[in-house]
């Protein structure tokens, strides 16, 4: 009889906990619905007023003011323009960080949206258009919404949430520090020590209402390379009287493509080497003295990465030498692989499926895009996932890639992102507090 009484008591206790959890989940869903219109408005405002890396002054002020209005502790000026918010729940428990990146890109918008960016800025000494062509405006608005949702249930929050509004995810200007790495250096994961970190990214790779993630290696490591070629200037009518750095650069570009196509087993190790800039000359009939190339390297394995770097250096210097020119190459440290912690990923997958439906959550192959969220994952267990932003009536073959001047998203993705991040934080804290 005593054992039966104990069993019934435990059953009733478990039932009460389950009922309380269901009630809290319903409250979170209601809070998401209540904040959705403001999330959309924030996103449009940020989209119309984009700011380049390490220059996110207006965005950070908007974020900081919102967090203060919610009674959240705020630290500004982290990694130049970053904002860290600290929401302490009324119950003891672990600490989870939620991250959103704030910077835009040097892209001139061509979407034609009513709130399209008309902002101009300076990038590497040039006047450029500025656009949220990678969806970071959505990420910021989503996390602002999450802050409001979780602040509304702080009495039931078993632990602490850190909101990391990060500058310069796209990389700080050359010669400057910034991004996730600098936030870490300045203590963003300390005081209190973060136990886990979660981030998301929106794209048109999938439709609204779907999400995706991959355990372990999800996104590539990335490094920037810069090549300086020096030839000998001459008249364009007498190219034999000099050494043409443009022709030399063209041959280097072609030769670099053989790294992935002929020198690495890409069935085992995906590799991308892309040249995104080629600059030379000032006049049509002058062979210039110098030319400059700049590009990106994407790999998933550190040993392959080292091999690619060696091959790149060899091709650049030896192709230049074969043309009578000289060339130097610099390869920056870049960012590591975005690596989802296996145990944390397994723990959070049911929550993601609860929001989107298990049939709408997939695990894609590795993605050659890169994320400096990976620096946070080097310090604490991290989980990074994608949410669909493509309208449901747009076929996959018509999807617009991130970084395009035509990039846009279906705003129906925003409340789902708020709901997912809110529940991921709450469910992680509840599990750690038990």
Write out the DSSP string of 201-248.
EEEEEEETT-EE--SEEEE-EEEEEEEEEE-B-EETT-GGGSB-HHHH
**Contact (Cβ atoms closer than 8 angstroms) between residue 42 and residue 62:** yes
Q: Which of 149, 148, 179 minimizes the C-alpha distance to 164?
A: 179
Residues of the chain with pLDDT > 70: what percent?
Answer: 96
pLDDT at residue number 91: 94
Question: 363-373 burial by CB neighbour count: b if 16+ within 10 A, else e?
Answer: eeebbbbbbbb
**Angle made by CA atoms 400, 419, 68, in degrees to the nearest 5:** 105
pLDDT at residue number 398: 97
Q: Is residue 1 predicted with pLDDT exceeding 90? A: no
Domains of the chain: 22-220+337-433 (3.40.630.10), 224-331 (3.30.70.360)
The pairing of strands 158-166 and 91-101 is parallel
| Catalytic site positions | 103, 169
Q: Is residue 80 predicted with pLDDT exceeding 90? A: yes
Kindly indicate the confidence band of residue 16, based on its pLDDT and cuts at 50, 70 and 90. Answer: low
Report the distance separating Cα 83 and Cα 66, nearest Å.
Answer: 11
Helix (H) / strand (E) element for 297: namely strand 290-299
Mean pLDDT on 321-347: 97
pLDDT of 34-65, one tens digit each?
999 999 999 999 999 999 999 999 999 999 99
């Amino acid at each position: 009889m005593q054992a039966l009484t104990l069993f019934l008591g435990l059953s009733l206790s478990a039932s009460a906990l389950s009922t309380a959890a269901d009630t809290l989940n319903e409250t979170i869903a209601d809070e998401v619905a209540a904040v959705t219109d403001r999330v959309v408005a924030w996103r449009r405002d940020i989209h119309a007023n984009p700011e380049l890396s390490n220059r996110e002054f207006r965005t950070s002020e908007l974020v900081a003011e919102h967090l203060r209005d919610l009674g959240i502790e705020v630290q500004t000026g982290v990694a130049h323009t970053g904002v860290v918010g600290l929401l302490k729940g009324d119950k003891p428990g672990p600490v989870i960080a939620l991250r959103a990146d704030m910077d835009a890109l040097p892209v001139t918008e061509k979407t034609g949206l009513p709130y399209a960016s008309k902002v101009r800025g300076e990038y590497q000494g040039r006047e450029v258009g500025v656009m949220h062509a990678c969806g970071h405006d959505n990420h910021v608005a989503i996390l602002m919404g999450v802050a409001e949702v979780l602040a509304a249930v702080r009495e039931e929050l078993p632990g602490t949430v850190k909101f990391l509004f990060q500058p310069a995810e796209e990389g700080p200007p050359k010669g400057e520090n910034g991004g996730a790495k600098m936030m870490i250096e300045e203590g963003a994961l300390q005081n209190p020590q973060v136990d886990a970190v979660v981030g998301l990214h929106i794209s048109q790779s999938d439709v609204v209402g779907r999400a995706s993630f991959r355990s372990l290696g999800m996104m590539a490591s990335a490094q920037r390379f810069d090549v300086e070629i020096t030839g000998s200037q001459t008249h364009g009518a007498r190219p034999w009287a000099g050494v043409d750095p443009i022709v030399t650069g063209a041959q280097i570009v072609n030769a670099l493509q053989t790294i992935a196509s002929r020198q690495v087993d890409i069935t085992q190790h995906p590799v991308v080497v892309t040249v995104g800039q080629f600059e030379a000359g000032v006049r049509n009939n002058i062979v210039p003295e110098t030319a400059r190339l700049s590009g990106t390297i994407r790999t998933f394995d550190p040993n392959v990465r080292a091999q690619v770097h060696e091959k790149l250096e060899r091709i650049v210097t030896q192709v230049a030498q074969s043309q009578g020119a000289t060339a130097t190459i610099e390869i920056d440290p870049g960012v590591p692989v975005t690596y989802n912690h296996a145990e944390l990923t397994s723990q959070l997958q049911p929550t993601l499926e609860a929001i989107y439906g298990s049939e709408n959550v997939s695990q894609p192959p590795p993605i050659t895009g890169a994320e400096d969220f990976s620096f946070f994952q080097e310090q604490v267990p991290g989980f990074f996932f994608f949410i669909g932003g493509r309208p449901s009536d747009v076929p996959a073959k018509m999807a617009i890639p991130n970084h395009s001047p035509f990039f846009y998203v279906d705003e129906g993705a925003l409340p789902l992102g708020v709901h997912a991040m809110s529940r991921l934080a709450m469910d992680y804290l509840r599990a750690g507090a038990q």
